[in-house]
Structure 1
Amino acid sequence: MSQRRTIVVVGASRGLGLALAKEYCARNWHVIATSRGRSEGLDKLRECYPSSLEIETVDIADGSSIRALARRLETVSLDALFVNAGICKANTLTPLEVDEKDFLDMMSTNALGPMRVVEALYYRVAEQGVIAIMSSELGSIVNCTGFWELYSSSKAALNMLMKAFSARHAGESRSLLLIAPGWVRTEMGGEQATLEIAESIPLVVDVVERSAGIPGLRFVNRHGEILPW
């Protein structure tokens, strides 16, 4: 019997992150799922998959918390890392209207924090493994329509930071993915979103699993189709 694969899912307390943890557990992965504080959703999931799910704590907006997580996982070998954490504030406002703290919170949580996690855990991931971050179609500068412009800018910043990270690690064998899950009905996505979680997350996980052993960075949607930067 082959050894069970291991993944860390960062930002799994609810929504897409919790759905990712559930999907990986259902596929018999060993899942280390993180949340900033206690998550009722993760607690219930662990009751269903007690031998598959571990719960860790990290605040993605706190560099010291990320470094502490990396120390706790320093002996763990990963097949994949999926960073999902993100927030959306003031999505209908313009740069003139937004409160500076709301914008900086989005940049910290959506762009800087995820890349700090990638930096901290990169070498815990197997050389043929996958490092994925949940991005968005809204992070594409080419396809920008002005929708949710402040949130979009945080995802574009995330994409740029991941591109720079990839350039620093050119020639290495790990697969790097920025994945856009589509507009999904969650607390953040809102009721007007076009997809149910079940129409997105299983496809996202399929993309991650197919990407093992394919080196380099790709910006893709839930079907694995390349998106324009």
Structure 2
Amino acid sequence: MNAKTALIVGTSRTLGLGLATEYAHRGRDVIGTVRGDRRTGLHDLAEEASGGRATVESLDMTKPEQVAALRERLAERTLDLLFVDAAVTRGSIPIGDVPAEMFVEVMVTNALSPMHMAESFRSLVAPGGTSGIISSRQGSVSLNTNGGQDVYRAGKAAPEPADAQLRRPVRRRRAHTAAHPPRPCPHRTRRSGRTADHRPVRPRRVDTIDRDSGEPGLKFLNHQDQPVPW
């Protein structure tokens, strides 16, 4: 029997690398993507994983030509999981002070590009497979009571209604939107902003992604498999 295959976008470090590592340890074939050609933790994982369990692909998902090229390279593969972890944040700048260029960058990276990935690779995801996008508690409109991080919030909220549109032609597949990076986080990251022990977090996140694989529908969940309000 062939091992299941996960394509995880954005696995050079922190959360994405943690997911890739956990899936490889659980016997999943992992295709991880990194931007550029510099060496990352994913390269170390690929060398450590026996039997080619983990492989590295170069991808900047904001560049459509690179997305198309990766889609072509993987055309003969069947994915049980497509998960987009890549995202950017540019700090808590009042929306009136945000340059248009910054707003466009965040929206293209955090909203448009993950939706492009989901659409481009949809036909490679097996019936009963899972498509997911890393989200955030800050992407919840209902929970936005304090403000701040205006651009990041907008970028994380934007994919959710669009996800609902993307899933309609493929009701047999589960479109799964994972929620905010939990505390504790893997270590200091540009998104978490703090350092903590991550050992309990990574398995729980994978458990959440995999628990209801094959169940149709769109879910916005935290790492403990609890629903987050839209």
TM-score scaled to structure 2, two decimals?
0.91
Quote the residue 1:150 is aligned against.
151
Matched residue SS, 2:89: coil
- Aligned partners of 1:215 and 1:7: how far apart in 2? 18
Contact 1:19 1:197 in 2 (8 A): no
Paired with 2:163 and 2:143, the residues of 1 have a C-alpha distance of 19
Maintained 8 Å contact 1:16/1:197? no
Residue 29 (structure 2) aligns with: 30
Aligned pairs, number: 224
Q: Equivalent residues in 2 for 1:72-87 (5 A)? A: 72-87=73-88
Partner of 2:109: 109
Identity rate of aligned residues, in percent? 33
Counterpart position of 1:188 = 190
- Report the 3-state secondary structure (helix = DSSP H, G, I; strand = E; otherwise coil) of the residue aligned with 2:148: coil
Partner of 2:212: 211
Which letter maps to 1:187? T
Shift of 1:40: 2.0
Letter in 1 for 2:48: C
Shift of 1:84: 0.6
Q: Specify every segment of 5 or more residues in structure 2 that has no aligned partner in the other structure, as ranges.
A: none
The aligned amino acid for 1:77 is T
Give the alignment's Cα RMSD to 1 decimal: 1.6
User: Which deviates further from its counterpart, 26-35 or 154-163?
Assistant: 154-163
Confirm or deny: 8 A CA contact 1:137 1:182 kept in the other structure: no
Contact 1:173 1:213 in 2 (8 A): yes
**Contact 1:111–1:161 (CA under 8 A) maintained in structure 2:** no
Preserved CA contact (<8 Å) 2:94 2:148: no
Match runs of 1:1-229 below 5 Å: 2-38=1-37, 39-51=39-51, 52-89=53-90, 91-144=91-144, 145-166=146-167, 168-169=168-169, 172-180=171-179, 181-183=181-183, 184=185, 185-192=187-194, 196-229=197-230
Return the letter of the residue paired with 1:61.
T
What stretches of structure 1 of length at least 5 have no aligned partner? none
